[in-house]
């Protein structure tokens, strides 16, 4: 015998729009959900599907006892069983999401804990109502239905958390593959670095050899330059001595030539003076002779002039 009881969902326990894909939550129905009332999202297309769904859940969990004189106690037992099942599912969900990302599943755990607390609150309310009167059995069944809904929601969230955990495991596997690839690249880079270090050491050896050869050549060039410098200094000293001797000889020759020139000049001056004195004497003689010649024939000249005048008519 199956007891049909209207299940009442507590406020705030409904699945948000889009969680069930826009279809009825009951298995085998698949009809689209009608629009919600007062902003609340629906889970079932009708009350019949909702009642059949929760009755099916009660049939899977345990066989409900028929209503009897001890109805409240049976309801409390059923409620306790549902609460234990909800706690177990919440623990399983916590264990499944322990290895998952806390940031992404913290909301799921918080909502599961809230559902459990709401179920506890409904259980406390149902216990108080059962203690007061047997008429509270309906409320206990409603609380049990709410606890079942919370259990189902917790199971769904646990399944989602498991899927998230599997997705994280896949991501971890992909990350591990990437890490292995990075390690392989790092090893290849290490080998290349070792080869580069060997090449660098060889280049350093060649550089040291070249530096040593250059230093040896520089030493020999410095010695040769020193010998050349000393030879140049010696040649310069000899050239300076030779130039000093030649300069002294030239100075002596120039002095002798100057002395000879002065002697020749003195002799020329003496000859000039003598020639000038002779010239002065000769001039004096010529002037005296000229004076004598010009003074004697003056009178005959005047006589010849008068006779010429008388001859003219």
pLDDT at 18: 38
pLDDT at 16: 40
pLDDT at 205: 92
pLDDT in tens, the chain (313 residues): 334 433 334 333 443 433 445 788 888 888 888 776 665 677 888 888 888 888 877 755 444 444 444 555 666 677 777 777 777 776 666 666 555 555 655 676 777 778 778 877 877 776 676 666 555 555 656 766 777 777 778 778 878 877 887 888 888 788 888 888 888 888 888 888 898 999 989 999 999 999 999 999 999 999 999 999 999 999 999 999 999 999 999 999 999 999 999 999 999 999 999 999 999 999 999 998 898 888 855 555 555 555 555 555 4
B/e letters for 41-60, b = 16+ CB within 10 Å, e = fewer, are: bbbbbeeebbbbbbbebbee
B/e letters for 66-81, b = 16+ CB within 10 Å, e = fewer, are: eeeeebbebbbebbee
Alpha carbon distances (Å) from 16 to 42, 48, 169, 266:
8, 20, 27, 146
pLDDT at 40: 64
CB 33 within 8 A of CB 50: no
pLDDT at 175: 83
Three-state DSSP state, 270: helix
pTM of the model: 0.26
Residue 23 φ then ψ, to 5° = -120, 170
End-to-end CA distance of the chain: 220
CB 88 within 8 A of CB 116: no
């Amino acid at each position: 015998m199956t007891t049909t009881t209207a299940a009442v969902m507590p406020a705030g326990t409904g699945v948000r729009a889009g969680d069930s894909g826009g279809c009825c939550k009951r298995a085998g129905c698949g009809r689209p959900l009608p629009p919600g009332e007062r902003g609340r999202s629906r889970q079932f297309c009708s009350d019949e599907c909702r009642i059949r769904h929760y009755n099916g859940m009660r049939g899977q969990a345990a066989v409900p006892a028929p209503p009897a004189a001890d109805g409240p106690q049976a309801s409390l037992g059923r409620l306790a069983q549902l609460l234990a099942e909800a706690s177990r599912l919440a623990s399983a969900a916590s264990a499944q999401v322990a290895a998952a990302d806390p940031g992404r599943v913290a909301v799921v755990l918080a909502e599961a804990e809230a559902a459990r607390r709401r179920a506890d609150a409904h259980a406390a309310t149902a216990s108080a109502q059962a203690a007061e009167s047997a008429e509270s059995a309906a409320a206990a069944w409603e609380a049990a239905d709410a606890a079942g809904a919370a259990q189902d929601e917790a199971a769904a969230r646990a399944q989602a958390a498991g899927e998230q955990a599997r997705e994280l495991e896949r991501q971890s596997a992909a990350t591990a593959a990437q890490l292995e690839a990075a390690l392989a690249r790092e090893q290849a880079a290490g080998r290349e670095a070792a080869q580069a270090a060997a090449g660098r050491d060889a280049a350093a050896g060649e550089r040291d050899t070249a530096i040593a050869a250059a230093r040896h050549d520089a030493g020999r060039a410095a010695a040769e330059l020193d010998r050349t410098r000393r030879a140049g200094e010696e040649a310069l000293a000899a050239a300076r001595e030779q130039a000093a001797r030649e300069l002294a000889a030239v100075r002596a020759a120039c002095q002798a030539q100057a002395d000879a020139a002065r002697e020749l000049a003195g002799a020329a001056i003496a000859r000039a003076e003598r020639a000038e004195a002779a010239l002065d004497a000769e001039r004096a003689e010529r002037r005296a002779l000229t004076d004598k010649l010009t003074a004697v024939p003056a009178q005959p000249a005047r006589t010849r002039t008068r006779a010429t005048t008388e001859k003219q008519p």
